[in-house]
Structure 1
Amino acid sequence: MTLHLLLSAGRGPLECAWAVAELTRRLESSATADGPAARGRPEITVARVESVPGDRPGTLRSVLVRIDGPGAAAFAASWSGTLCWRAASPYRKVGRKNWYVISQPVDPEVATTAFTETDVDLVPCRTGGPGGQHRNKASTAVRATHRPTGLTVVVDTERQLSQNRRLAVELLRSKIADGNQSAAQAAVTARWQVHDDLVRGNPTRIERPT
């Protein structure tokens, strides 16, 4: 099983970016073979997929980690929610010692639709309305249907059937490409919304320096 967690400092101060880095290291160390094996959990591995550095060296505004192994679901659940790094700030003198981080499962994979012309059904048809006698008497229009998605377009702008067939295929190709782009943007937007989901207080997990 493979799962992904996104750890984010949200809109917190620089100490929260420090907390993301510290908590990520703690997460990685707790996933080593010795840790899970000693506690009777299935072995898992953790790898950083991507990260956004913070304003100070060694800090992270966010990090995406991939968790692999039969115990991935249980391990990810134990590291999900509001995490708290409890330690004094290394950057300034403040009384606060609780620095909160959001950790949520995300799906970095975006489902896209591959376009192949063999997946397109092309059917000649007639269209009504203005356009002259030729358009009314001859089936020069084309209805194109992309079978995997059910997307359908009708093209009748040209007087020749072959030209309308070509335009219909290109129109379907363009619409599917636009759909893939929209899906990718929606996935990015959903991941950025995680940064705003941080709820300070009542953490699901508290970690301290050893």
Structure 2
Amino acid sequence: MFHNLENVVDRFREVEGLLSDPSVMSNQSRYRELTREHSDLSEVVRVYGLYKQVLSEIAGNRELLLDPDPDMKAMAREELPLLEAQQEELEANLRLLLLPKDPNDERNSILEIRAGTGGDEAALFAADLFRMYSRYADAQGWKIEILSLSETDGGGFKEVIALINGNHVYSRLKFESGTHRVQRVPATETQGRIHTSACTVAVLPEAEDVDVDINPADIRLDLFRASGAGGQHINKTESAVRLTHIPTGLVVSCQDEKSQHKNKAKAMKVLQSRLYDKMLAEQQSVMAADRKSQVGSGDRSERIRTYNFPQGRCTDHRINLTLYRLDAIMQGDVGEVIDALITDHQAALLSQQERSA
């Protein structure tokens, strides 16, 4: 598995040289691409350096076992198990680092949450989910910008779309796409009955201009007056924007800004990311009919998680993980669930790699 690590080191040094090349530095797209590659390779090179150092120390200690000095032998016997444990740990780390990289892992993400079945209760749950992800983003040092928001009179969200900027956002959130189900007693329920509602979550890698080439002739622009909950007009000018991508039928609306131009820019960002996500999905379906290397099917209609408030339970159905700390999770402490999903995904990739070796 590690036979190509010296090639990784050579490539790392080559990339370092390219990053100081004036012709590369003047090409923003190329420079950004090489910076990402340098970041990926640097951790592999660092761990590989430690691994070679440990191997060297193990070889040295094994030689000391043949030393006539009993003290030297005793020291070698004491150190060898510790060094061998380090070797195993570093090998496991290297296996993970050498797994195929998702080229979108470094990207920012578009987060879309929509209320599904359940009426007002589903809308309230959509707002709860957005608050959960917002607090998790704050804890990660990420920045959230709302691109579009449709509220209900009761304080819920029919739909919310936000851009999340930060390090490795997509790698952390990409497994959140799917149907999230909530079981709880609504505030309006007089007989204490538990209701089941649902919301859909979509996490898209933010598209860059070079990823999606949109022909302006393929876009239909409609302007309308922005309105708030209950249809109450926010302003009297047609500042709200609806973009329709005619070839695919994708529609994006944005009305949060008072400026028509700002709304159009935000809507275009969402449209680009949806088209990019559609393109990726089509590529993946062609490359692999079965998506066993993915956590779940990736289908956004799939029920992926249940939040049961009476039991204080959060269950992720894809990996059979159940945690009885729902209050903390809803306050943004969702990292344990995300870590478990990533670990499961990595284990599946490792298994697949071993089968094909």
When the two structures are superposed, what TM-score results if normalisation uses the length of structure 1?
0.51
**Which position in structure 1 is the counterpart of 2:202?**
104
Report the alpha carbon displacement of residue 97 of structure 1 after superposing the two structures with TM: 4.6
Report the alpha carbon displacement of residue 198 of structure 1 after superposing the two structures with TM: 4.5
SS in 2 for 1:203: strand
The count of aligned residue pairs is 132
| Match among 121, 139, 144 for residue 15 of structure 1 | 121
Native 8 Å contact 1:10 1:198 kept in 2: no
Q: Percent identity?
A: 17
1: distance between equivalents of 2:109 and 2:304?
25
| Match among 157, 160, 170 for residue 63 of structure 1 | 160
Report the alpha carbon displacement of residue 106 of structure 1 after superposing the two structures with TM: 4.4
When the two structures are superposed, what TM-score results if normalisation uses the length of structure 2?
0.32
Structure 1: state its 5+ residue gaps.
37-42, 115-176, 192-196
2: distance between equivalents of 1:19 and 1:7?
10
* Structure ranking higher on relative contact order (CA contacts 8 Å, 6+ apart): 1
Q: Where in structure 2 are the equivalents of 1:41-190 lying within 5 Å?
A: 43-54=141-152, 56-93=153-190, 94-106=192-204, 111-113=213-215, 177=217, 179-181=218-220, 183=245, 186-188=249-251
Q: Where in structure 2 are the equivalents of 1:187-206 lying within 5 Å?
A: 187-188=250-251, 198-199=301-302, 202-203=304-305, 206=314
Report the alpha carbon displacement of residue 7 of structure 1 after superposing the two structures with TM: 0.5
SS in 1 for 2:219: helix
| Gap change, CA 1:90 and 1:11, over 3 Å in 2 | same
| Match among 127, 130, 134 for residue 24 of structure 1 | 130
1: distance between equivalents of 2:189 and 2:127?
18
| Gap change, CA 1:62 and 1:111, over 3 Å in 2 | farther
SS in 1 for 2:251: helix
2: distance between equivalents of 1:71 and 1:61?
28
Report the alpha carbon displacement of residue 57 of structure 1 after superposing the two structures with TM: 2.7
Q: 2:157 is matched by which residue type in structure 1?
A: L
| Gap change, CA 1:21 and 1:29, over 3 Å in 2 | same
SS in 2 for 1:70: coil
2: distance between equivalents of 1:202 and 1:107?
20
| Match among 86, 97, 111 for residue 5 of structure 1 | 111
The structure whose Rg is larger is 1
Question: What CA deviation, in whole Å up to 9, does each residue of 1:176-204 have, x standing for no partner?
Answer: x2x2336257221898xxxxx655x5527
2: distance between equivalents of 1:8 and 1:102?
5
2: distance between equivalents of 1:101 and 1:26?
14
Question: What CA deviation, in whole Å up to 9, does each residue of 1:151-179 have, x standing for no partner?
Answer: xxxxxxxxxxxxxxxxxxxxxxxxxx2x2
User: Greater strand percent: which structure?
Assistant: 1
Report the alpha carbon displacement of residue 74 of structure 1 after superposing the two structures with TM: 2.5
Native 8 Å contact 2:144 2:162 kept in 1: yes
Native 8 Å contact 1:49 1:66 kept in 2: yes
Q: 2:127 is matched by which residue type in structure 1?
A: A
Native 8 Å contact 2:116 2:197 kept in 1: no
